[in-house]
Structure 1
């Protein structure tokens, strides 16, 4: 049996979670899955599909675990089919994207809040989490408003890119089987990530990875590219033309080692003794056609960029002969062909070292 103090604390936590749950979900959980299906005029299986693709647990059909806002969300999903003519597979894809992204976003933001509370008030992890729970009701509307604003800005940016590419999309050229989008695509991979982070505690490791992601995103966007995703010790980026891709690649190779100078980070209140030193990256990038789906990019050129990254030296950029030909007339770049190498899953290729011309690229 828990002591009275522990029992009282548990009751307070449960009460806080109950109130927070009702606030976040817009009301009490009074509806069943059958109610949601009836409200939206769909069958019960579609409700199950919606909840499953959102990545959320789905209860028995007669358990009252849903709210009025849940009913509205299911009805909106049904309206995509009913009113806008989308097929079920498309609605499932759109819903899965939302569930996957919002799950990661919510966890990312809440963990950042926990870290902030812990550092600011010198709390242990459990106490910091309780404090976040206590303050989440006030923070949630601000986070939600920023999410909607960011989402609309991203949609606007995509619409702008589509408009700029309209002519190309209408005329893909003689090869009608080619992948649809011409893009510069590249990877930057942190050198010796495992060794450099061995022995770091959770706070130091979090700061180390966060500094890498932040620095990488800043470099990519400043040069005119876009981050597709980060994978712990690597970043995948794209750009709309080969020259911009080259600027992004060179920027990453030049800047990230300095950005992640851990001695400087420690002086600024960051990373601990065990991560001391400069952490450069290897970069591989190519120009080619890709498929964009599920918030990611796919195709042979993505694989080629990844394999070139594997063989690049620290703080250098490698590309392929075809991309080098595209960049050959651009005086901002110096291209040096290297000895042929065999790349896993691709075969023999003559890699090309990309450098900035003296004084041409800042």
Structure 2
């Protein structure tokens, strides 16, 4: 396979040095030599479990006697079975854990491969099809590095969660929450880009990709610097959480103040970056609430999530809105100023009194 400095295919003459079977075998650790029925017999489990595992992973295969699976696939099924056999997890939990892997790894693989395509196209001045062929040619060499980084990142994230849980719930005999209450007290907020549709209507695929990447990267930087975590990004919006109301307020104000400036790409456009249509700043509207939430499936749920979203809808550009309950908690902190606004009717919530959150000029 070509190395970084070898000749690359041209747009006029695409080429693929490795066959699809060779790439497949390199990524899967060998050829596809097992059927689903054989995987079930090897793991000492029912065929239904194997079918459910692969369907939940997002990779269903209908024919149980087709030699579709590799040795590494068989090992994955063995590990899934061991979660029940050796660790006592029930089937529903194993399915949930597997679904999380499938959903996340599907998006992760696509995200990374598309980034590699853009890199090849830009670096070697290739058209999209040729860049994709070149990425295919180099996947086997890149995969071990990407895989090692994935494992490291995953373990660091697990360690971070363990640390947060230890700090929040580690006190022996601490008083629990009231029965039926959602389990986690969190600041939850949305930041929504203003006029996203209008600003991106004329952008081509490359400029649109760069624009969205800039927004996501800038949002994650601000959220992390403020002590929060990004739950998800949705094109022109970001959902974040923080462990304290003060951290949530810092994140919200940081997004409102910084994000438009972070995606001002005028200087980059002059240096060959985004096209004219993507120039200028795009402010965001932010809503943030401190309340209890349910954390499941890599997401957060609860009335406060809906309230934060509705407050975002009515916020002015580059401002932060919260509710009176959160404002009462933050009022003790001299770093923030809070201004109660007239009550508004919010969809699905009725009358709500929004409170504008600002950084104190004396802090």
The two structures have a TM-score, normalised by structure 2, of: 0.94
Match 1:88 to one of 76, 86, 91 = 91
CA distance in 1, matches of 2:185, 2:109: 33
Spell out the pairing of 1:8-27 with structure 2 (5 A cutoff).
13=16, 15-27=18-30
CA distance in 1, matches of 2:350, 2:267: 42
Post-superposition offset of 1:170: 6.4
Does 1:316 find its partner at 2:291? Answer: no
Number of residue pairs the alignment of both structures matches: 352
Equivalent residue number for residue 250 of structure 1: 253
Does 1:54 find its partner at 2:22? Answer: no
Per the alignment, in what secondary structure is the counterpart of residue 165 of structure 1?
Answer: helix
Equivalent residue number for residue 4 of structure 1: none
Equivalent residue number for residue 302 of structure 1: 305
Does 1:213 find its partner at 2:216? Answer: yes
Structure 1 residues 146 and 63, CA, compared in 2 at 3 Å: closer, same or farther? same
CA distance in 2, matches of 1:130, 1:170: 59
Does 1:45 find its partner at 2:52? Answer: no
Does 1:72 find its partner at 2:75? Answer: yes
Which is worse superposed, 52-61 or 227-236? 52-61
Post-superposition offset of 1:134: 0.9
Equivalent residue number for residue 5 of structure 1: none
Spell out the pairing of 1:64-143 with structure 2 (5 A cutoff).
64-143=67-146
Would you say the 8 A contact 1:285–1:305 is kept in 2?
A: yes
**Which structure 1 segments of 5+ residues have no match?**
1-8
Spell out the pairing of 1:254-269 with structure 2 (5 A cutoff).
254-269=257-272
CA distance in 2, matches of 1:20, 1:313: 51
Equivalent residue number for residue 353 of structure 1: 356
CA distance in 1, matches of 2:241, 2:221: 14
Does 1:195 find its partner at 2:177? Answer: no
Per the alignment, in what secondary structure is the counterpart of residue 112 of structure 1?
Answer: helix
Equivalent residue number for residue 186 of structure 2: 183
**Which structure 2 segments of 5+ residues have no match?**
1-11
Per the alignment, in what secondary structure is the counterpart of residue 166 of structure 2?
Answer: helix
Would you say the 8 A contact 2:17–2:137 is kept in 1?
A: no
Would you say the 8 A contact 2:14–2:130 is kept in 1?
A: no
Structure 1 residues 287 and 168, CA, compared in 2 at 3 Å: closer, same or farther? farther
CA distance in 1, matches of 2:294, 2:206: 37
Post-superposition offset of 1:135: 1.0
CA distance in 1, matches of 2:175, 2:302: 16
CA distance in 2, matches of 1:322, 1:160: 28
- 1:333-359: CA deviation from partner (whole Å, max 9, x where unpaired): 010000000110011011000000115
The two structures have a TM-score, normalised by structure 1, of: 0.94
Post-superposition offset of 1:13: 4.2
- 1:107-138: CA deviation from partner (whole Å, max 9, x where unpaired): 00000000000011110000000111111111
Equivalent residue number for residue 6 of structure 2: none
Spell out the pairing of 1:277-288 with structure 2 (5 A cutoff).
277-288=280-291
Structure 1 residues 169 and 27, CA, compared in 2 at 3 Å: closer, same or farther? farther
Per the alignment, in what secondary structure is the counterpart of residue 29 of structure 2?
Answer: coil
CA distance in 2, matches of 1:206, 1:166: 41
